[in-house]
C-alpha cells in the first residue's frame, strides 16, 4: 500500500505520461486538467486569488470577491451506442460532480476537445450533488457567464 506522498507522485507521473509535460504539469499540481481549468478561471474572473498556489490541499480553488469558488471542468460527452446499436446523431452534454461542501459557488467550464466554450458560476444550493448541462439547458442559463458556441 502506498502512502499519501507516494500516491501523489504516482498520479503526477501518470498525468505527465498521458498528457505530456507542460508548464501546468510542472507546477504544484498533481492533475494537469484540473490545474489548467483553475488557470482559465483565474483569467476569466478578474481579481481572483489562486488558493492552490502554495499548497494543494485547500477545500476550494479560488477566492473572488469574498466568495470561495471550486473550479470544475468537463469535456463534452457523446453517447456512441444505444441498446447495442451505434448512434448517428448525438448533441452531447457536460457532467460536473461535487467533491466538497466548503465552496460558496462552483465555476464550471464546458469544453469541447479541451477548448472552453461556456462558463457557468453556479451557487452551492443549485449545484446539489452534481449537475448535467446540455446544449439547450435552460435551467442553468441564468448562471451563464460566457458562451462562445
Instruction: Tell me the chain's radius of gyration from C-alpha atoms.
Output: 17
Q: Where are the beta strands (DSSP E) in 13-139?
A: 49-50, 62-64, 67-75, 81-82, 85-86, 93-97, 105-112, 115-123, 130-134
pLDDT in tens, 8-22: 778 777 777 776 665
Residue bearing the bigger pLDDT, 27 or 84: 84
Taken in order 54, 23, 108, 98, is the CA torsion positive or negative? negative
Q: What is the mean pLDDT of the chain?
A: 79
Q: What is the pLDDT of residue 149?
A: 46
Residue 4 has pLDDT above 80, yes or no: no
Among 82, 134, 79, which Cα is nearest to 108's?
A: 134
List beta partners, residue 81.
Answer: 86
For the entire predicted model, the pTM comes to: 0.72
pLDDT in tens, 112-140: 888 899 999 999 888 888 888 888 777 88
Share of the chain above pLDDT 90, in %: 8
List beta partners, residue 50.
Answer: 62
The owner of cell 479560488 is 62
Amino acid at each position: 500500500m502506498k502512502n499519501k506522498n507516494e500516491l501523489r507522485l504516482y498520479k503526477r507521473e501518470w498525468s505527465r505520461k498521458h498528457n505530456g509535460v507542460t508548464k501546468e504539469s510542472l507546477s504544484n499540481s498533481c492533475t494537469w486538467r484540473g490545474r489548467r481549468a483553475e488557470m482559465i478561471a483565474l483569467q476569466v474572473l478578474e481579481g481572483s486569488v489562486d488558493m492552490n498556489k502554495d499548497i494543494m490541499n485547500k477545500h476550494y480553488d479560488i477566492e473572488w470577491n469574498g466568495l470561495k469558488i471550486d473550479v470544475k471542468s468537463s469535456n463534452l460527452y457523446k453517447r456512441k451506442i444505444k441498446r447495442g446499436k451505434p448512434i448517428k446523431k448525438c448533441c452531447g452534454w457536460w457532467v460536473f460532480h461535487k467533491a466538497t461542501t466548503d465552496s460558496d459557488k462552483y465555476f464550471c467550464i464546458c469544453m469541447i476537445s479541451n477548448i472552453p466554450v461556456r462558463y457557468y458560476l453556479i451557487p452551492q444550493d443549485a449545484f446539489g450533488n452534481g449537475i448535467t448541462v446540455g446544449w439547450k439547458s435552460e435551467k442553468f442559463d441564468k448562471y451563464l457567464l460566457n458562451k462562445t458556441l
